[in-house]
Amino acid sequence: MTIANRTAARVLSKGIVEGKYQGRLAFDDMPSTAMIGTFGSDSLITDSVNSMSAYTTGHKTAVNAMGLYVSRATDNLSHPKVETIAELIKRNTKMSVGIVSDAELQDATPGAMVAHTRRRADKQYIADQLLASGAEVILGGGSAYFYPQSTKGSKRKDDQNLVDVFKAKGYQTAFTKQELATSSENKNTTKLFGVFHPDNMDGSLDRLYLKKNTVEQYPNQPDLTQMTQAAIDVLSRNSNGFFLMVEAALIDKFNHPLDWERAAFDTIMLSNAVDLAKNYAKNHPDTLIIVTPDHTHSGSISGVVHDERQGPLREKVGVYAEAGYPNYPSADMQGYPNKIDVSKRLAFFYGSYPDHYETMHPKLDGTFVPAIKDEAGQFIANPKYVQLQEDAIHVGGNLPANQESGVHAADDALLNAQGPGSEKFKGFMDNTQVFKVMVESLGLGSK
């Protein structure tokens, strides 16, 4: 998530009149703010796994690595391991741990809570580590790695059925939003495992409005807010407290293919999830809430696209006084406008991109696919979009031709926080310092 994602979400969700927003996102009024440096041990540009690993261990590592120091070991699992915050909590306290993501649960951010590998692609191993972690709540996508290879759609290479093992260990299980509600509302549920998609889950724009991507195949996926509330309900039954990590993963998944509208909708969804955490904190003032991306993207808003302007597509971009304001309809109770293909839209552009056709319209038929491979194996602009829109602009990429989508940026990440310990977040901080604030706030700083 980058600052422009927040700005776009605020415009769509709250509206803006004569220069003033008509409301704020849930993290906008948190009292503590810091700029976070995200660099890894080997590169200025981080990926999601080593940046999240810095949050969970307090140590730097390299691109593609989680929970370890990179050594000369040839086996991905034989590098020197570093204890994660989930492991530290389990070793020293009686607190519960929760992991929630709308990506695959084996993806970088949830995986870095518990696993130690040189290669983030070791997803079967990461699924095994999620089970071994003892985390009381585990909710998200990636069901393909929890079922044996004999199961249709499984991506495991063995006959382990982790779902059955979770059940045997006393976890309530959920595979639809209805089952999630039923399981979490049961006062006797203290451990909950739920998977709702074999891969990454679908974003809010598609689930709620467009019904594209895989929504028709998986119509009963929960919202991030439903998973967050379920996690809080279950974890809060432990009188010793809890640590909960919630990831709105699809903000990143949509920034990569330059699909800013979908990213904005999921930023609104993140705000809604943060509201639930803040509501919990009202009655539990000993709760520290931290909202931060693990890295940024290159998006920026430069004006407003006006369909009624004459001339080629680029002349429809209004800048400065010619920008005016977009005309998205007022948002619903959840904070979403019910229409995004309006006549005056945000002109949102990315700074890193492959060859692609710029349409300046939201992609109503599914997530934007900016580039596809040609016969030589290089990525070229996807001709689909010039076929759909004759005046689409061909944009020559500024990334190597082997890149199919946008990449992460080195820009500082914006962190917001509230609650005990949040006053330590200020100015510029390294990402490893986020870990230190968390463990100190938990009283684990010297353990």
Residues 133 and 19 in one domain: yes
DSSP strands (E only) in 66-119: 96-104
The enclosing domain of 168 has a CATH number of 3.40.720.10
Alpha carbons 224 and 356: distance in angstroms, whole number: 31
Alpha carbons 218 and 220: distance in angstroms, whole number: 6
Check whether 135 has a pLDDT greater than 60: yes
Task: Record the tokens describing residue 396, joined without a space.
Answer: 């020559």
Alpha carbons 274 and 257: distance in angstroms, whole number: 25
Overall average pLDDT of the 239-264 stretch? 98
Q: What confidence score (pLDDT) does residue 446 get?
A: 66
Percent of the chain with pLDDT over 70: 100
Instruction: Dump pLDDT digits (tens) for 342-360.
Output: 999 999 999 999 999 999 9
Q: Is the alpha carbon torsion for 2, 199, 117, 231 positive or negative?
A: positive
What's the length of the chain?
447
Instruction: Dump pLDDT digits (tens) for 198-228.
Output: 999 999 999 999 999 999 999 999 999 999 9
Residues 94 and 234 in one domain: yes
Question: Is the Cβ–Cβ distance between 328 and 304 less than 8 Å?
Answer: no
Which residues fall within 8 angstroms of residue 283, CB to CB, at 6 or more apart? none
Instruction: Dump pLDDT digits (tens) for 59-70.
Output: 999 999 999 999
Residues 248 and 310 in one domain: no
Question: What backbone torsions phi and psi does residue 243 show, to the nearest 5 degrees?
Answer: -120, 125
Check whether 252 has a pLDDT greater than 70: yes
Q: What confidence score (pLDDT) does residue 445 get?
A: 76
On whether residue 413 sits in a domain, the answer given is: no
Residues 195 and 242 in one domain: yes
What pTM, to 2 d.p., does this model score? 0.98
Number of domains the chain contains: 2
Structural domain containing residue 234: 3-295+420-441
Parallel, antiparallel, or unpaired: how do β-strands 32-37 and 344-350 relate? unpaired
Alpha carbons 226 and 4: distance in angstroms, whole number: 26
Check whether 283 has a pLDDT greater than 90: yes
Instruction: Dump pLDDT digits (tens) for 163-172.
Output: 999 999 999 9
Q: Which residue has the tokens 């929630």?
A: 100
Residues 55 and 172 in one domain: yes
Residues 230 and 341 in one domain: no
Check whether 270 has a pLDDT greater than 80: yes
Residues 386 and 430 in one domain: no
Instruction: Dump pLDDT digits (tens) for 385-444.
Output: 999 999 999 999 999 999 999 999 999 999 999 999 999 999 999 999 999 999 999 999
Check whether 447 has a pLDDT greater than 60: no
Question: Is the Cβ–Cβ distance between 352 and 298 less than 8 Å?
Answer: yes
pLDDT band at 177 (very low <50, low <70, confident <90, very high): very high
Overall average pLDDT of the 367-382 stretch? 96
Residues 225 and 286 in one domain: yes
On whether residue 266 sits in a domain, the answer given is: yes
Residues 196 and 225 in one domain: yes
Residues 180 and 289 in one domain: yes
